[in-house]
Structure formats: C-alpha cells, structure tokens
C-alpha cells in the first residue's frame, strides 16, 4: 500500500522529492510502529518515492511527449504495465520485509475503507475528473489542467473552507507564479542548449559514432540504459528530457526502436536515477528529511535499486509490455 500511495502522489505532483518530503514523514513512523526496522523503512520510502512517474497525469511524461512530438495519451497507456511492474517489485520487497520481521498485520475492514473514501470524495474527484475529461476525449490537456484548478479552488474555498478567496488565493497564486517562473528559466536554458546541439548537428555526429562501434540493437539498448542511469544520477528529470531526448531519439530510430518504447525506457531509467549516486535527488532529500547519512541511506536502498534495475531491463527487452497496451487501447 505504501508503494501505491507514494506512486500516486508522485504521479500527481510530478516530483519524486515532493513525495519523500510530504508523504515520507507520515508513512515512516507508521512503518516503524508496525514493526519494520527503521533502516529498512527509510530505504523503502526513499525508493517508493521514485515510483509513479509513468502514470497519468505525470508531468515528465507530458513534457517528453511535447519535446519528442509523441502522443501523450499513447505514452500514458504504454507506461501503465511498466509502471505496475516497478511498483510490484518494490512492493514485493516490502512484503518480504514484513514477513521476515514478523510485522503486525492489520485486517482489511470494508466499512472503514468506505468511510475513508467517502471522507476523501472531494479530493478523489480531482484525479477522476482529469483522467475522464482527457482520456475520454472531452477536453484537451490544457483544458483538463484548467478544470483541475477550478475543482481544487472550489473544494478548498467553498467545501472545506481552508482557503480564503480574498486573503489566501492571491498568496497562493503568487507562489505558483514564482514556482512556474523558476521552472521556465530552467526550461529556457535547457531549450537553448538543445537548439545549439541541433544546429551543431550533435545528434547526427553522435549517431555516426555509435553506429561505428555498435551494430546490434540489443547492445545499443544496454549501452543506452547505462548512459541514462548515469544521466539520472547527475541531472534532474526535466533538464534531462529537454537536453538528452533530442540526442537519443534519432539514434533510437536508427536502430529501429519504437519511439513510445524508447520513451518508457528513458523515463524508467530516470526513475532509477533518483536513487543513483553521486547526485541522486531522492538520496539527498531523504537524507535531509530523515536525518540519515548518505552512505547508510544508499545501503538501505541498494536492494531496491537492484530490483528496479531488473525491472528496467525487463521493460527494455520486453517491448510488448509497452506496445501491446498501446496497440490495444489507443485506437
């Protein structure tokens, strides 16, 4: 359940680190209280924070689609089974930890679950409205985003009354504008670098170099995974999308890799990069949030890093996981 909660939060916030900072502080004490060792629990929460980037309405998937001019709907459909595979791997490790440590088991209570869902009905309306309006063809992505803002505004101001329309909404709007402005600065620099790389014909030169030494598409995919894991350990996912995608896209096409499959490989590797030293974002945020040394934290996440690596390799070499749902549902 922890894995699904973290994955859902990451999908809707678009930020793996936000999940650790916001949800991790709530989940970690619950895991420890249930009998899970603290080191194991910290590793599980840190790793689970990187899940969810393949699920709608994840912002990295949308940005990848915009950057590479691919169907965003097909990317979300293609990412469902790979995303569930990664969640399943981490969840299986968590279940194993519960069995080994003989953690307490809380029986499922349908009445309590129904009461919790009813209590969160307004919050649950938001993802349902976004997904239904967009995937049902009733709204474009921009219109679905505007609908989400309206629902959130009505819920907070008139249902829960936690925000004042005159006192709090202007402050929130200013904070959002500031955050968006900072992102646009990063975006502008990344796009400037991308345009320079294109004008300098760097993708074509990189393709010639790669094809000189690598003939097999299978070997290329292995090298691509290694490269993307390193990229994920050094760059944030948004900069990586704008800078690296124009480089690997033409090379992948030259080796006959389906663009949607390549997109899911790219994003899955970037998920793994959140846990990869030396600059894995989740490692630093988790160390700050839970007051743990980086070395200790990496040891705690290493088994899960290996599990996610196996999942990424399966996603890479079993394209049907991505392409079969797309062929089945996108038309």
Residue-level pLDDT at 265 = 94
Residue-level pLDDT at 145 = 76
Residue-wise pLDDT for 294-324, tens only, equals 788 888 888 989 999 999 999 999 999 999 9
Residue-level pLDDT at 194 = 67
Domain ranges of the chain: 2-116+199-329
Residue-wise pLDDT for 99-142, tens only, equals 887 776 777 778 887 887 788 788 778 778 877 887 777 887 67
Local confidence pLDDT in tens for the 331 residues of the chain: 677 777 777 776 666 566 776 677 778 887 887 788 888 888 888 888 778 888 887 888 888 998 888 988 899 999 999 999 999 998 898 888 878 877 767 777 788 878 877 887 887 787 788 778 877 778 876 787 788 888 888 888 888 888 888 888 888 888 778 866 766 776 677 667 767 766 777 667 777 777 788 888 899 999 999 888 888 777 778 778 888 888 888 888 888 999 999 999 999 998 888 888 776 777 877 887 788 887 888 888 889 899 999 999 999 999 999 999 998 876 6
**pTM attached to this predicted model:** 0.79
Structure tokens at 173: 């709007």
Handedness of CA 107, 8, 173, 240 (dihedral sign): positive
Structure tokens at 282: 């989740």
**Cα-to-chain-centroid distance, residue 315:** 15
Question: d(Cα 113, Cα 221) in Å, to the nearest integer?
Answer: 44
Burial (0-12, 13-18, 19+ Cβ within 10 Å), 26 = exposed
DSSP string, 30-98: HHHHTT--HHHHHHHHHHHTTTTTTSTT-HHHHHHHHHHT--HHHHHHHHHHHHHHHHHHHHHHHHHHH
Structure tokens at 152: 């959130």
Residue-level pLDDT at 121 = 81
* SS3 category, 58: coil
Question: d(Cα 314, Cα 309) in Å, to the nearest integer?
Answer: 9
- CB of 157 closer than 8 Å to CB of 163: yes
CA–CA distances in Å: residue 84 to residues 7, 78, 79, 306 = 10, 11, 8, 17
Task: Select from 184, 75, 57 the least CA-distant residue to 132.
Answer: 57
Residue-wise pLDDT for 230-247, tens only, equals 887 777 787 788 888 888
């Amino acid at each position: 359940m922890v894995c699904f909660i973290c994955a859902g939060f990451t999908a809707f916030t678009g930020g793996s680190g936000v999940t650790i900072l916001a949800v991790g502080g709530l989940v970690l004490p619950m895991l420890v209280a249930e009998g899970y060792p603290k080191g194991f629990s910290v590793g599980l929460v840190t790793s689970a924070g990187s899940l969810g980037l393949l699920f709608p309405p994840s912002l990295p998937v949308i940005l990848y689609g915009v950057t590479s001019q691919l169907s965003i709907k097909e990317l979300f459909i293609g990412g469902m089974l790979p995303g569930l595979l990664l969640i399943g791997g981490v969840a299986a490790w968590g279940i194993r930890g519960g069995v080994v440590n003989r953690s307490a088991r809380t029986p499922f209570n349908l009445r309590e679950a129904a009461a919790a869902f009813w209590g969160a009905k307004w919050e649950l309306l938001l993802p349902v409205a976004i997904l239904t309006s967009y995937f049902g063809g009733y709204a474009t992505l921009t219109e679905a985003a505007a609908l989400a803002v309206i629902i959130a505004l009505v819920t907070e101001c008139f249902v829960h009354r936690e925000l004042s329309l005159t006192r709090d909404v202007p402050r929130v709007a200013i904070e959002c504008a500031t955050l968006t402005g900072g992102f646009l600065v990063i975006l502008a620099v990344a796009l400037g670098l991308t345009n320079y790389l294109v004008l300098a014909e760097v993708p074509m030169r990189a393709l010639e170099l790669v094809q000189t030494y690598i003939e097999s598409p299978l070997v290329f995919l292995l090298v691509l995974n290694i490269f993307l894991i390193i990229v994920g350990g050094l760059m944030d996912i948004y900069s990586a999308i704008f800078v690296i995608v124009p480089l690997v896209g033409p090379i992948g096409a030259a080796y006959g890799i389906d663009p949607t499959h390549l997109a899911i490989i790219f994003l899955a590797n970037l998920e793994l990069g959140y846990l990869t030293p030396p600059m894995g974002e989740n490692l630093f945020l988790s160390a700050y949030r839970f007051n743990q040394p980086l070395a200790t934290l990496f040891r705690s996440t290493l088994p899960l890093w290996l599990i996610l690596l196996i999942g990424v390799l399966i996603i890479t070499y079993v394209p049907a996981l991505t392409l079969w749902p797309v062929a089945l549902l996108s038309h």
